[in-house]
Structure 1
Amino acid sequence: MGWLRKKKKPKSDIVSVRGAMVLEDLIECCDGKSNPIKFFSADEICKATDNLNEANHITELSDFGYKWYSGKNENHGVILIKKALHRFNDYQEGKFCRDIAVSSMVSGHKSFLKLVGCCLEFKYPVMVYHGVKKHYKLDDISEEPWKRKMKIAEDIATAFAYLHTAFPRPFVYRNFSPKKIILDDDGVARLSDFSCCVSIPQGETFVKVDRIVGRFGYMDHNYKMSGLVSEKTDVFAIGIVMKNLLPTEEETEEEGDISEQEICQMKAFAMLSLRCVGLKGEVPTMVEVAKELKKIQRYLHNDSSSPSSETHFDSPQDISSSSVVLSNQT
């Protein structure tokens, strides 16, 4: 039955098709404005990584869909290389192009991985980022110290706020979970993977999508049930992540040395997470979430201003009880 097999496309054809798709997505996302990125050859990628040598494999970042490598480049020093592990179908090719387009738009912001370019010549596509000495994924949030948890939440809220407000049309991430967070060796959290990012048409507050993607527990009701994506889709997701950042009652008791300031901070943090998922008052915008998280952090550092009344609890038990409420809802 070999005669029924599809004839393989020449590499030049694949590169041309992918290049056209990337250009189309760049034009759509950037409203026709020029947003140049570098296209690497396969030889350049191989040279930078010693032929994708396993010694350069970054196991902390790799997952079921992509393999990450560190490399060196004359013009950019340390680089990160994300290589797909399987051939893409048309839908996946489209997601890859969207990832390139949106990554190129946000690369100048500190809360995102900085895209250098891509390579379209490999059978399995490649993206190239600026690197630092060490990156790792945030697989277990509970192991991070409280101070860092707060900063991670603010970093990601700031990233979402930028997506929602920095462009003529809001962009919604819609596929968020802690595994999308990459930390550098200084503990700075950066958002990656914009393959499922969608834009909301001008004058509208939501957009309907054909495919529901993402982790079920991080999806708001409208998106999960109807495919309606709005800015609240991201607000809900970060609210769930914030809930997971809160210590349990047992963890609080085990710590023993949590200061009164930290207790107040956790109360405000818990209330804000409830607001994000629609269980307490009006759902805030992502800009409001980022500002409130910054304010709560300042309170921990002996700032005279306390967290706002909207994110205040009346008793210490409210920290753990809020987690129970959130768990029942998700």
Structure 2
Amino acid sequence: MGVRKIIVSFFRPRQKDEQERSLNFQKNGGALLEELITTFGARYKNPIRSISADELVKATCGTDRRIDMSNDFDFMSTGSLEERPILVRKCTGRILKEIVRDIAVTSQMSHHKNVLKLIGCCMEFESPALIYEYSGTNTLSDLLHEPRNHRILSWKSRLRIANDIANSIAYLHTGFHTPLIYRGLDPGKIIIDNNNIAKLFDFSLCISLPPGELHVEVDGQVGRLNSLDTTPSSRFITQKTDVYSFGVLLLMLLTGQRAMWRDQEGKLVNIVVFVNKRLNQIVDPHVLKEGGGIEQNGRYKAFRELALCCIKPEKDDRPEMIEVAKELKRIARHIHIEEVIQVDRNYKSKSYDYHAVFICVLLIGLVIFCVLRVSF
């Protein structure tokens, strides 16, 4: 009898645990399906792989490397699943709606090269976990604000990162039948891989525009960078809300500063106010060490002007995200402009030579044709 009690007591916790996991799976899976249908209708394409709790525990067993996040709700750790490295993100303090929104949007954005690729999710915990393809553990926040422990970002790398994130946000705005607004842009939500390619993640605050509407009114979170926008219309979320936060991100890339910090006197400093007061003295000293002369200063100025355009108080005065992406490409291409002009001149002079030869050959041919015709 005693042995039987021991056996029963041994299996009951596991049975209870399995029941809880089953209930969690039904609850979380149902919420995810509802979110997919609500946001994407019948147009969602990429299937989402379901990973069991046992698989995930095994995948992360013995790995205790955690990545600092930009909030207190999530933590990310490394692991190995089916012999390939992974990142596991657990959202312990978020509401379920935000987590399933994150899974739904990320799954439909995972094909984009500048989005952290989602391998699958585990729905058996009370709060679902997201499993990503491993792309390194350095966030943009780490590289900008903790350079002692990480590589220093060159100007070329900063330009590329800005371009990468602009592309991912622009796709979010234009790639679906209903525009999606990211709303929570932050350097802590951008992972930079070893090739300096930026990968955006955490779409939990993402919101879709209702059909026929240009804005959504919200009372809750607008994202840390958007909180710097103190205009009365800031509670109305539009695509220009993302443009504003991206403009702040550009200023952070240019200056190396945080969005807000305390000065030597303990006063809180806003990067938007800081930049407007010091337009000619804001470039990160690490970047200035690279030199480059007048040409490089021209790029800094163009980058700064684009950032200031993105954070204009009136939303209608801000550019569309796709226009911002195009301008960043133009700035990035604006390299060795004198060489480009010289190459263009050489090409034109060669073209003129080719044209002259062609015309001479044509004239000679006509003369020969006329002579032969007269002879006969």
TM-score (norm. length: structure 1):
0.79
Identity of aligned residues (%): 36
| Counterpart selection for 2:27 from 3, 17, 24 | 17
| Counterpart selection for 2:102 from 99, 112, 116 | 99
Report the equivalent of 1:84. 91
Deviation at 1:185, TM superposition (A): 1.5
How has the CA–CA distance of structure 1 residues 34 and 174 changed in structure 2, closer, same or farther, with 3 Å as cutoff? Answer: closer
Q: Which has the larger radius of gyration?
A: 2
How has the CA–CA distance of structure 1 residues 249 and 144 changed in structure 2, closer, same or farther, with 3 Å as cutoff? Answer: closer
Q: Is the 8 A contact 1:219 1:233 kept in 2?
A: no
What amino acid is the match of 2:134? G
How has the CA–CA distance of structure 1 residues 279 and 19 changed in structure 2, closer, same or farther, with 3 Å as cutoff? Answer: closer
Deviation at 1:207, TM superposition (A): 1.4
How has the CA–CA distance of structure 1 residues 255 and 44 changed in structure 2, closer, same or farther, with 3 Å as cutoff? Answer: same
How has the CA–CA distance of structure 1 residues 253 and 245 changed in structure 2, closer, same or farther, with 3 Å as cutoff? Answer: closer
Worse overlay, 209-218 or 289-298? 209-218
Report the equivalent of 1:282. 317
Q: Is the 8 A contact 1:135 1:185 kept in 2?
A: no
| Counterpart selection for 1:58 from 55, 66, 82 | 66
Q: Does 1:208 align with 2:217?
A: yes
Deviation at 1:262, TM superposition (A): 1.2
Q: What is the CA deviation profile of residues 242-288 of structure 1, one whole-angstrom value per residue up to 9, with x for unaligned ones?
A: 11222426828962723322111111111111111126993210000
What amino acid is the match of 2:240? K
Deviation at 1:220, TM superposition (A): 3.6
TM-score (norm. length: structure 2):
0.70
* CA distance in 2 between partners of 1:253 and 1:14 (Å): 49
* CA distance in 1 between partners of 2:226 and 2:69 (Å): 22
Worse overlay, 26-35 or 164-173? 26-35
What amino acid is the match of 1:181? I
Deviation at 1:61, TM superposition (A): 5.4
Q: Is the 8 A contact 1:112 1:159 kept in 2?
A: yes
How has the CA–CA distance of structure 1 residues 253 and 112 changed in structure 2, closer, same or farther, with 3 Å as cutoff? Answer: closer
* CA distance in 2 between partners of 1:266 and 1:28 (Å): 43
* CA distance in 1 between partners of 2:44 and 2:286 (Å): 51
| Counterpart selection for 1:176 from 180, 185, 195 | 185
Q: Is the 8 A contact 1:175 1:215 kept in 2?
A: yes
Report the equivalent of 2:289. 255
Deviation at 1:20, TM superposition (A): 0.5
**Structure with the larger helix share:** 2
What amino acid is the match of 1:173? Y
Report the equivalent of 1:324. none
Report the equivalent of 2:54. 43
What amino acid is the match of 2:137? H
SS at match of 1:100: helix
After superposition, where does 1:137-286 map in structure 2 within 5 Å?
137-139=139-141, 140-141=143-144, 143-215=152-224, 218-221=227-230, 227-247=235-255, 248=282, 251=285, 255=289, 257-278=291-312, 282-286=317-321
Q: What is the CA deviation profile of residues 166-216 of structure 1, one whole-angstrom value per residue up to 9, with x for unaligned ones?
A: 001110011112111111111111111000000112222111223233216
What amino acid is the match of 1:136? N
* CA distance in 1 between partners of 2:174 and 2:203 (Å): 16
What amino acid is the match of 1:98? R
Q: Is the 8 A contact 1:219 1:236 kept in 2?
A: no
Report the equivalent of 1:127. 130
Report the equivalent of 1:111. 114
Deviation at 1:66, TM superposition (A): 2.1
Q: Is the 8 A contact 2:226 2:241 kept in 1?
A: no
Query: Which ranges of structure 1 fall in alignment gaps of 5 or more residues?
Result: 1-7, 306-330
What amino acid is the match of 2:65? H
